[in-house]
Amino acid sequence: MATSASSKLNKAVKHQYMDLPQGDKVQAMYIWIDGTGEGLRCKTRTLEFEPKSVEDLPEWNFDGSSTYQSEGSNSDMFLIPAAMFRDPFRQDPNKLVLCEVLKYNRKPAETNLRHSCKQIMRMVENHHPWFGMEQEYTILSTDGHPFGWPSNGFPGPQGPYYCGVGADKAYGRDIVEAHYRACLYAGVQICGTNAEVMPAQWEFQVGPCEGISMGDHLWIARFILHRVCEDFGVVGSFDPKPISGNWNGAGCHTNFSTIDMREEGGLKVIEESIERLAKRHMYHIQAYDPKGGLDNARRLTGYHETSNIDEFSAGVANRGASIRIPRTVGQEKKGYFEDRRPSANCDPYIVTEALVRTCVLKEEGGEPTDYS
C-alpha cells in the first residue's frame, strides 16, 4: 500500500513537542480555496491573544502566483477571515480560519464564490434557507489506487460495501472515525457518516445549516478530512468518478428547504420549485462542478444511481432522478427536496446560491441575475 513518507515519521516524537505549553500565544491557521476552485491551501500565524470572533482576526496576504490566482509581477492576494473554528490538530486555544480571497484591487478572486453567495443569502434571509450536503469521497493510496483494493485487480463487485461492517467490506474506517471526531471538536455541523457503495468510498453529511454557513462548514470539513488523511499517509479524493467502469461515482447530494416548504402545505412550494429547476437544468449543471459540467459528465450517466446529465427528472424516493422527494415528505406534504446532481468536488457556495436564485428569487434563463 503506497502511503506518504511523512506518515511514517514517529508521531510519539511529535507529541513530545505538541505537549509543550504555548504561553499566551495562539496559532491561527488561515485556510483558503485556490485557483482551481477545489484545492485548499493554508498557512499559520501567531496571534497575541485568543480571538473570540471573526472580527478579532487580522487580514493577511499570500503569493497568488503560486496558487494559480495571480501573475508573479503582481502576486499579492488578500486573505479576509470569514469563519472561525476550533483547531482539532493543535487543539485549544488554536483556531482554523476560513478566508475569502481578494485580488490586489480588493475585488473577489475568480474562485471566491463565497462573496456572491453571501449577498444572495442576505437577500433571502427571511425565507430561512436550510441546507444539508452529503459529501462522498474516496480514500486513495498516494499512487492513486483505491485504498485496500488488490494491487493487480479489483475487489468483489458492489453490493456488500454500502454501510458495510467487517475488514472485507469497510476499507479505512480509522480515517472516518478520526475525521468525525475532529469535526465535532472543531464545531463543524457534521450530522452523520456511512460507508458508500464502492469499496474505499465513504460519505459524511453536514447540516442542517442556514444560508452562507453551509459552505463554510462543508469547506472546513473537507479541510479536516485532507489533514486527517495526511496524517494517515493517504489521499481523500473528491473526484466525481475516480474509477471508470461498473463502479459508483461520488456526488454531493444537496438537501434544501425554505420555511414555506417546511410548514403545512409545503409540498406545493416544493413542486413549484422543481418546475423552475426543470426549466433551468443546464444552468445548474454548469454550476455543480468546477469545470462547468465536464467533471459531472463522467458521473451523471443515468447509471449507478444517477440521472442523465442531459435530462431533468424528479420523483418520490427515486435515486435515479435529478431531484428526489423523500417518501416521508410526500406523505407529510411538507419538508425538503434533494438535488442529486452536484458533484463531489462542487463548490457548496455556488450550489446553494444557484438553488436560492432559482427556487426563491425565481430567476429564469441560463445566466444568474445581476442585482448590483
Torsion of CA 345, 349, 352, 353, to 10 degrees: -130
63 and 197 housed in the same domain: no
Q: Are residues 173 and 237 in the same domain?
A: yes
CA distance 44 to 200: 32
Asked whether residue 171 falls in the same domain as residue 275, the answer is yes
pLDDT at 153: 85
Q: Of 112, 140, 173, which residue constitutes the final position of a domain?
A: 112
Residue 33 backbone dihedrals phi, psi, to 5 degrees: -90, 130
pLDDT band of residue 2 (cuts 50, 70, 90) is confident
Please state, in angstroms and rounded to a whole number, the distance separating the CA atoms of residues 50 and 56.
9
pLDDT of residue 326: 95
Whether the predicted pLDDT of 234 surpasses 80:
yes
What's the pLDDT score for residue 320?
86
- Domain end: 83, 112, 141, which one? 112
Residue 311 lies in a domain: yes
Task: Specify the pLDDT at position 110.
Answer: 96
Q: How confident is the model at residue 71 (pLDDT cuts 50, 70, 90)?
A: confident
Question: pTM of this prediction?
Answer: 0.97
CA distance 20 to 90: 11
Note whether 257 and 168 are same-domain residues: yes
pLDDT higher than 90, residue 319: no
Burial 123-155 (b: 16+ CB within 10 A, else e): ebeebebbbbbbbbbbbbbeeeebbbbeeeeeb
Tens-place pLDDT, residues 187-223? 999 999 999 999 999 999 999 999 999 999 999 999 9
Closest CA to 322 of 356, 299, 345, 291: 299
Q: What is the pLDDT of residues 149-161, one digit of tens each?
A: 998 889 999 999 9
Range of the domain at 132: 121-359
Please return the burial class of 356, using the count of CB atoms within 10 Å of its CB with bins 0-12, 13-18 and 19+. Answer: buried
Q: What is the CATH number of the domain that holds 324?
A: 3.30.590.10
pLDDT per residue as tens digits for the range 125-156: 999 999 999 999 999 999 999 999 998 889 99
SS3 350: helix
Q: How confident is the model at residue 355 (pLDDT cuts 50, 70, 90)?
A: very high
| Cα angle value 166/170/172 (rounded, 5°) | 125
pLDDT at 52 (0 to 100): 97
Do the domain assignments include residue 371? Answer: no
Residues 6+ apart with CB under 8 A from 13: none
Say what the pLDDT of residue 73 is. 77
Find cell 490566482 and name the residue: 69
Last residue of a domain, one of 112, 143, 174: 112
Residue 34 is given by DSSP the state: -
Give the total number of structural domains in the chain. 2
- Residue showing cell 497568488: 64
Whole-Å CA distances, 18 to 111, 221, 227, 327: 34, 23, 16, 49
pLDDT band at 55 (very low <50, low <70, confident <90, very high): very high
Are 176 and 325 part of one and the same domain?
yes
| Judgement on whether residues 44 and 87 belong to the same structural domain of the protein | yes
Give per-residue pLDDT as tens, 3-37: 999 999 999 999 999 999 999 999 999 999 999 99
Confidence of residue 1 (pLDDT cuts 50, 70, 90): confident
